[in-house]
Chain A
């Protein structure tokens, strides 16, 4: 019988072969035609670890490091190894309780897994590191890992230097293709952002093989695909850190800005924006909290007011108006204008002038005579060669543009604003199709629609100092090695003002500006052995407080350069809502000039001046209202809490709540009093000062 079935042997053989063929077919499909498996395998098993180089160091003009790197330590833990640890002792070292310990362990196990190392506490303080380092061997699974952190040895120039932060999705989208990935740090503001390419260096990559639990098993292909990290380049700035420090000190408890430029190079010597902050405040353990706190602060500490806030330049703008007027020949140095207390040219009694009398050009600058420059401006606009006011405005703008006004200067910091020198278009909405010079007179004295940044104003001072040329203000002088991205090229070209302006006009303006300091508005800011030129500015301004537009205390401006011959520093100062230009901004500028030129503040009188201006408090009333609102909310909450507790303890009486919810209303100061004016009611001011000082202290990291 079996003989009959012999053919079935073939059938069985065919079945075997067929099944094997099917298998071979699927193998071909998987191994040859499906590329996705290779990719999946690589995603599975190859871990690309980016090696971060140290970021470049930023130096000041005297080669002092103002932003460098330091090693900080993170306490890392591998939960699966951390068994039998003396939790209580470890918590003692870390100053936490065991509940917190358990909570953190739970959280990071949930986030990173049981077998992967994760940070238990990052950025340990030095003492804590010292304590832990001695005892770390006792705690299985815990290790100390070093990492490079940014540190600011002087704790100044936060606005200039900027900060690094972890990139977010928006940043990744904007910088697509530059090799950033989630979790990287990048410079987000200041020089850190502008020179990110240079500072970040070149990241290295190490390829590792990892297992199914993401544990590293060794290097991939013996490291043939690895690249080494190249450290970031150092950059050398023109900043004078001592000047910056003094500036920040003088601007404490004020709102405003200082920009000082070396007129010979365009290098920025200092740029202060008040209120400022200690940049170290944004690097430590609580940086996230601090970021949140500061970005909600009504004083807007992150705003770099030197570049990012518009100001009406006030009387300091008269220098430019004067130069243009002289160039056009609408006046000459001997032209005189009389002022009976107001400008008579337009018949509306505006603007007023402080000192009555007859002024020539020098004295008009020295005493900041509004009528004089209103006349100049009006005459300029009414020249016969202009068919209408529109073209006159365009001609004026062209002049101003050669002074770097009305457009971005191109400072090497992000978020610079461009300012405004108005054209006819800016007025049509207000005055209809035809514009008369009398509508525009307030521009002559740097009010009206004229808007500048403080850096532009400082640059104007530099131009007058240089008698008609400037380099674009910038912070970075040189980059270590070479400037491979040509980032410094824009700062190597000399810009000239309008060619029609002769040198003699600059002499006239400088004479006037010297007179300002010698016997004019800023006579009290005179420095005995330095001949310097300056121009005050007092800017009226209004703000909306609780929905009502009110006049605020004046902004105090001062622009200056020194010494007159061979100028080395050009400076512009604004202190918001403080007083006349001569009263606040001028002394501050003079102190900085002395510090820069003579390396110190000399003499008891000048030292006392430094003390006095450091102590002065000028918080704009509208800002004070916001601060008080914030604080009263805080206090109300605290008080509510307290009341709640009291109520619980004893239900005897409804104790009077001491919630200080009274809002400080700013005094309607039409013109600030002669003597040290208080912008707000005296009593709440003291409170505010106390509060502010503690807050300022808070921003300084305890060392």
Chain B
């Protein structure tokens, strides 16, 4: 890339480029670790294009081309086409319902021919980031107003809802990452607080017995009521607030959470979430599994994946077993190790040291992107940069957390590392658009 013209390379943040290249290289080596067989000639199989690491190498090449192409474009292009691209993305997602191809139980792929498939939901992340940036950078947008917040929310929610309809819960969750750029742009902190409170309540509902929790909540409410009773005499509103809050809390733990688990989520999703806190979920309560009972016998809920993944990482110890020496990796004990569970190969081979170093690379990259975001003159670029950082962060956090048993298993790839052309291309484009925008940070983009 360094031999390109000065006009193109000018202003490019090379640190991010090098981090990007480093991560993609690590990714290919990780996939190599997973697929390595001692008896094959690795050099020829790298070139051969038959194995996954060789394919990933090819994807890397394609992505380099795509990155160059992105860098060669004009920043104004992205602002100009942001809404159009968003509309196109939504259209593509809708199209999956018509021409979608079923891969691993989700109809979220559009066959491109030649064995390649496109997952519009992946691309939609970029388009949504662009559209959100565009919307927030509009001069007429007053983000403190509820109306603007709702519109921004709708922009994000649309692809998320479509993803859920495609049975891609993981991808839908990614869209919640956009809360961070919105927060940066002035979304009231209360929303974040309410959100996290709700999350805490949900987790509490899972862990604690329903009745115990209800009593605990009542006790807390009573104590608060006791403390504030002096003020309550003066304003009835405060009293009402406490009562309403109590009602909402109990309502959530009593009705909303069971409703979500039994009616919204699939049986296996509920099972995975319950297994996180070490409990069994009774699938007979699940409406969706009941409907499907005629089609297929419910598979025995099993946390095999997480168990094996934890074993692989846990057996790494301080310094790991060494490159290509992971017994769990070579024995293929971890399912989907080259895609969603790629982190396990790293954890087993390089241990705690390797994992921390690897996470530091990510964290450094995220902080670098935030730094880039803050040096933008235009809101568009800043919002976009925050979106990129948030999306990356969300992917990393969720993916790594699920491999070490901190988060239920959702199919989210590890950015730039996991095998998969679609995902790699998406992140490449996502990052290089940012770099293009950053290179033109002196311009004010609307």
Contact = CB atoms under 8 A, between A and B. Distances in A.
Interface of A: 1-2, 4-6, 8-9, 11-13, 15-17, 19-20, 22-24, 26-28, 30-32, 34, 36-38, 40-42, 44-46, 209-212, 217-218, 220
B38 A22 contact: no
Interface string B337-354: 000000000011001100
Interface residues of B, number: 49
Interface stretch (B44-52, B110-118, B396-404): B396-404
Interface in B338-390: 347-348, 351-352, 355-356, 359, 362-363, 366-367, 370, 373-374, 379, 382, 386, 389
A24 B310 CA distance: 14
Contacts of B359: 20, 23-24
B333 A45 contact: yes
Interface stretch (B162-170, B271-279, B314-322): B314-322
Interface of B: 38, 143-144, 180, 183-186, 308, 310-318, 327-328, 330-333, 347-348, 351-352, 355-356, 359, 362-363, 366-367, 370, 373-374, 379, 382, 386, 389, 393, 397, 400-401, 404-406
B352 A23 contact: no
B355 A37 contact: no
A211 B330 contact: yes
Contacts of A26: 401, 404-406
Contacts of B183: 8, 11-12
A31 B351 contact: yes
Contact of B317 (A2, A17, A22, A31): A31
Contacts of B382: 2
Contacts of A12: 180, 183-184, 370, 386, 389
Given A13-B367, A16-B363, A41 B315 contact: yes
Given A5-B186, A38-B314, A44-B327, A16 B366 contact: yes
Given A23-B401, A26-B405, A31-B351, A37 B311 contact: yes
A185 to B, nearest CB: 29
Interface of chain B, main secondary structure? helix
B335 to A, nearest CB: 8
A44 B333 contact: yes
A22 B184 CA distance: 23
Nearest to A11: B183
Given A20-B359, A27-B356, A45 B330 contact: yes
A363 B446 CA distance: 137
A219 to B, nearest CB: 10
Given A8-B183, A44-B333, A22 B143 contact: no
A288 to B, nearest CB: 35
B410 to A, nearest CB: 16
Contact of A209 (B143, B186, B330): B330
B313 A38 contact: no
Contacts of B317: 31-32, 38
Question: Which of A6, A27, A209: most chain B CB closer than 10 A?
Answer: A27
Contacts of A42: 315, 327
Contacts of B313: 27, 30-31, 37
Q: 4 shortest A-B CB distances, which residue pairs?
A: A37-B314, A41-B315, A45-B327, A211-B331
Contacts of A211: 330-333
Contacts of B374: 6, 9
B330 A27 contact: no
A214 B38 CA distance: 17
Contact of A27 (B186, B389, B404): B404
Given A5-B184, A16-B366, A20-B359, A30 B327 contact: no
A521 to B, nearest CB: 77
B100 to A, nearest CB: 31
Nearest to B394: A19
A41 B370 contact: no
A31 B406 contact: no
Contacts of B144: 1
12 contacts: A1-B144, A5-B185, A15-B180, A16-B393, A23-B359, A23-B400, A26-B401, A30-B405, A32-B352, A40-B311, A45-B328, A212-B332
